[in-house]
Amino acid sequence: IVCVTPATDHVTFTRDKMDLCDVLVSCQRVAETAKHVRVCSENVPKVAEELKQLLKSQAFSLANWRKHELHPSVPDASQHIDWVFVIDTLNFSFWHDNPSNKFTVDYRGKLWTGYWSLVAAINRALDEGIAITTPSFYSQMDLETFSHVFRSATDTAVPLLETRFKILTETGRILVKKFQGTFRTCVQQADHSAERLVRIVTDHFESFRDCATYNDEPVSLLKRVQILVADLYGCFGGDGPGLFDDIDSITMFADYRVPQGLVHLGLLEYDEMLSTKLNSGELLESGSPLEVEIRACSIWSVEVLRRTIQALLDREEVDDKGDKRDRGAKRTVCNSILLDFYIWDMAKDNAEALAAIPIHRTRGIFY
């Protein structure tokens, strides 16, 4: 099985199918053999105890997704399933060579950068009457209109503008041709299964096929398709089109911000060689061994953390005889989506405090 991962264009795979269940298996294998990144298991119990308390106090929860002013607060399935799909089709590569001059979107009197610049640009376009979330429109959109949607308040353009345009228009054409012109059809076909939705999306939409090779073995990472499921889950509060019976099979979303947060928490450690490269700002090629180690070890460290938190929660919910303390209470569940959202927000909100921990720089379409 060979995965070829060009840094700035579509990805070509000889692998026929991409399954959600492959992610943890392949990432654990990388974590156990990685040369330059270490999952710090000895620090997991302390972090797990802290995050367990935050989870129980509702300091972070699924409800936080809707609370951001740019996210839909009252979701409508007829509009926001396609909205989420466009967001996650374009949700990649927002870091800049010059952090003081970023791609910035001016929307409703506020300036937005990073991931939020994408959301602000899409919402601004909709406010202007541009049907940017309607596949029949964006499948035929011209580059001039797309460039207008992503106009910047600074002299720095959105990274990979033409690549984003190519991916979005191609994605729109597939939805029109195969799915009645809406991503709602894909969600309906998945029938509340995250695993089926991952399969549908990776089977039909090439830019979501996020895998690599490490030591001549395939590694599934699947960041954008998993966050697509998670965003539907968050947008609809785990109900209706956001209800997935197997939602806990989703892993964390291996990007460049969460690994920074994991290093800060003491759950990941880079060796001296990798640290030197990152501190110098050296670009890591998409699919390179160093980049795969960072991403795969991040996924596995969050899984180890999740399992530890869940064991702590389960232990608290039973008495000394092994019976549930409150028979009417619903089991408290910690999944990787909640942990990823929390760590991402923590790292983003404390960017200055975490500035000494470099993010890895990879210019590509997967994150």
Gap between the Cα atoms of 216 and 342, Å rounded: 33
Tens-digit pLDDT string for the chain (367 aa): 344 444 444 333 335 578 899 999 999 999 999 999 999 999 999 999 999 999 988 888 888 999 999 999 999 999 999 999 999 999 999 999 888 899 999 999 999 999 999 999 999 999 999 999 999 999 999 999 999 999 999 999 999 999 999 999 999 999 999 999 999 999 999 999 999 999 999 999 999 999 999 999 999 999 999 999 999 999 999 999 999 999 999 999 999 999 999 999 999 999 999 999 999 999 999 999 999 999 999 999 999 999 999 999 999 877 545 666 665 567 788 999 999 999 999 998 898 899 999 999 999 999 9
Q: Write out the H or E segment, with its range, that includes residue 261.
A: helix 257-265
Output the pTM of the full model.
0.91
User: How far is Cα 277 from Cα 247, in angstroms, rounded to an integer?
Assistant: 36
Phi-psi region of 211 (alpha: psi -120 to 50; beta: other; left: phi over 0): beta
Burial code (b: 16+ CB inside 10 Å, e: under 16) for 30-52 equals bbeebebbbbbeebbeebbeebb
In whole angstroms, what is the distance from residue 200 CA to residue 181 CA?
15
Report the distance separating Cα 312 and Cα 42, nearest Å.
16
Both tokens of 168, joined, read 């979005």
C-beta separation of 52 from 313 below 8 A: yes
**Hey, which residues are catalytic here?**
255
**321 vs 180: CA distance, rounded Å:** 55
Separation of alpha carbons 341 and 338, rounded Å = 5
255 vs 92: CA distance, rounded Å: 9
CA nearest neighbour of 217 among 25, 356, 56, 349:
25
